[in-house]
Amino acid sequence: MGRKRIGILTSGGDCAGLNAVIRAVVHHAMGNYDWEVLGICHATNGLMSRPPLVKHFDLDTVDPLLIAGGTILGTTNRGNPFAYPMSDGTVRDRTDEIIEGYRQLELDALIGVGGDGSLAILRKIAQQGGINLVGIPKTIDNDVGITERSIGFDTAVNIATEALDRLHFTAASHDRVMILEVMGRDAGHIALNAGISGGAHVILIPEIPYKLETLCNHIKKRQARGQNYSVVIVSEAVCTESGESVTKLEQFGECRLGGIGRYLADKITDRTGAETRVTTLGHVQRGGIPSPLDRLLASSFGVAAVEAIAEERYDCMVTWQNRQVVAVPITEAIATYQAVDPQDTLVKTARGLGVCFGD
């Protein structure tokens, strides 16, 4: 096998563990195979730039990346290269520039670390331009198909769990209903996992429709038993009772989920008389030091992605399945959105613990 030159980019929202992937790729590719590794800056934007924006790595200085949050390569979750918003207000397909950037760098393969949206875009560009792509799933939302886990999810669950642990004390001390709103986009994995680990009394996720009456009765029953406080965790994509998404307009005219916690707080106070407070966890779920499990996953995925390239196995994504890293066709992974199955074992666990889903 000849000496290869490979690129790695991170795309989509950041999360804990991205730098640990970069470290693993550098160790295996440079340390074991003696390949060259180029870090592509700012996702596909780095390949659009002229000259392409790259970072070079030194095998002896990458180790601190294991615990560093964010991504040293930079990333973006805006600006789909197929309809890229230009500064003059027009929208342009810039995928040929990305393919040309890959060629200019004389790369043999590209590792793309992203969520389902980024991986779908990267795959389309790779098919169009003959790019040898290997995908690595990352997202706190844990909604990428086929893989049981994506990088960043475990850390986000740990942070949300710690928040619940803290909220329990204030809830009990003040006889309040404390509501924690967490991220996750359309999937309720963070709320479900943290809700169980953090002992929430109510877990609301988009996959299980709720009734206000049911969840307020649950709170009232607790009050009647002398449990004059409750802790609620809610996913950002949970709708109002009548089925409307709660969103807020961010900069650049973008719509983001957020605000369901406030909606619920008002309804709960109206119906139960309880004093309520809302904590919106926001981006603290994405940043910071990766959990040990995310470090393991990131290290395993990084090494496996390099192995896939060594075997010239492209158009695949590495996944975690039954305690193994398995490479699957990217198409399979992005074809299946991984929402919470209402019959999931964790949903049954929560119900067994007396948790109310509002259904």
x/- map, 169-208, ligand F6P, by CB under 6 A: --------------xxx-----------------------
d(CA 154, CA 137): 13
State yes or no: residue 350 binds ligand F6P (CB under 6 A). no
The verdict on whether 93 is a catalytic residue reads: no
Query: In terms of Cα–Cα distance, which of 1, 62, 53, 2 is closest to 28?
Result: 62
Cβ 132 to ligand F6P shortest distance, Å:
27
- Please report how close the Cβ of residue 283 comes to ligand F6P at its closest, in angstroms: 6
Site for ligand F6P in 250-269 (CB under 6 A): 256-257
Q: Nearest-CB residue to ligand F6P?
A: 183
> What mask of x and - would describe binding to ligand F6P in positions 42 to 81, judged by CB under 6 A?
-----------------------------------x----
Kindly indicate which of the ranges 25-33, 137-145, 166-174, 193-201 contains the residues binding ligand F6P, using the contact rule CB under 6 A: 137-145
- With respect to ligand F6P, which residue has the nearer C-beta, 7 or 152? 152
Task: Identify which of residues 180 and 327 has a Cβ nearer to ligand F6P in the complex.
Answer: 180
Can you tell me which of 105, 140, 303, 308 binds ligand F6P, judged by CB under 6 A? Answer: 140
# chain residues binding ligand F6P, by CB under 6 A: 12
By CB under 6 A, tell whether 139 contacts ligand F6P: yes
**Looking at 124-132, 134-142, 220-228, 317-325, which segment touches ligand F6P (CB under 6 A)?**
134-142
Q: Is 38 in the site for ligand F6P (CB under 6 A)?
A: no
C-alpha to C-alpha distances, 205 to 183, 240, 274, nearest whole angstrom: 11, 12, 22
The amino acid occupying position 127 is: Q
Least distance from ligand F6P to the Cβ atom of residue 66, Å: 22
| Minimum distance of ligand F6P from residue 175's CB (angstroms) | 31
Which two structure tokens, joined as six digits, stand for 137?
A: 């799933």
Query: Which positions from 221 through 240 interact with ligand F6P, judged by CB under 6 A?
Result: 236
Candidates 14, 116, 141, 294; catalytic one: 141
Residues identified as active-site = 141
The contact set with ligand F6P (CB under 6 A) reads 13, 77, 139-141, 183-185, 236, 256-257, 286
